[in-house]
Chain A
């Protein structure tokens, strides 16, 4: 257990479905992140939240919609996805200082 919990671990969805990914941390961190990891590609930063406020959106398509209701929870709402959106979606959290990020185990998403 890393301190950052992501659910579900695996998700298969059709292109017309709506689903949500959940991330939870009880480390007292004030920043949370969504990353996309595709095969043979670098980690892609999608969204950054600091103290519940979105501070970065890296030109992510609107079919991905983040939500951060409080500093401990982060969601990624998915709708009308494409097969190329299939990837491992990683959540991370951090606190000010030198400790880097704490990552969750990821959600393996397959869009069919």
Chain B
């Protein structure tokens, strides 16, 4: 079955890079996503990667995909206090229609 896991918590200093990791079990992923949730708000799509890519860069965000190890990561360069939030990875699988399976979320805390 589908299972997407993330570490629960990450703390970094402002200006450092943050790396949030995600592992998944279903090898038939087509797209993988990163969402950000700020306190009291819904989830906001940050970026996504097609499963035949291994890297995607979008300004301060870099997504790395290791399909062999079923490992996805999100690197945030020059992390700012406004990046403090919960980050969710999600996968869409072949034959799953539009359905996404979400990870447990990683709480990122940025300290001054």
Contacts and interface: CB of A to CB of B under 8 A. Distances in A.
Interface of A: 2, 4, 6, 31, 42-43, 45, 48, 50, 55-56, 90, 92, 94-96, 98-106, 108
B102 interface: yes
Contacts of A103: 35, 42-44
* Chain B interface residue number, banded: 20 to 34
A106 B100 contact: no
Interface in B17-35: 30-31, 33, 35
Contacts of B41: 105-106
Interface in B80-112: 88, 90, 92, 97-100, 102-105
Contacts of B100: 100-101
B40 A108 contact: yes
Nearest to B49: A98
Interface of B: 30-31, 33, 35, 40-45, 48, 50, 88, 90, 92, 97-100, 102-105
Identify the interface centre among B48, B99, B103: most chain A CB within 10 Å of its CB.
B99
Nearest to B42: A103
Contacts of B105: 42-43
A90 B86 CA distance: 15
A45 B90 CA distance: 13
A48 B104 CA distance: 20
A35 B31 CA distance: 20
Contacts of A50: 97-98
Given A103-B42, A104-B42, A98 B50 contact: yes
The 10 closest A-B pairs by CB, nearest first: A103-B42, A103-B43, A94-B98, A43-B102, A105-B42, A42-B104, A100-B33, A31-B98, A98-B31, A106-B42
Contacts of A56: 99
Given A42-B103, A42-B104, A100 B45 contact: yes
A96 B92 CA distance: 11
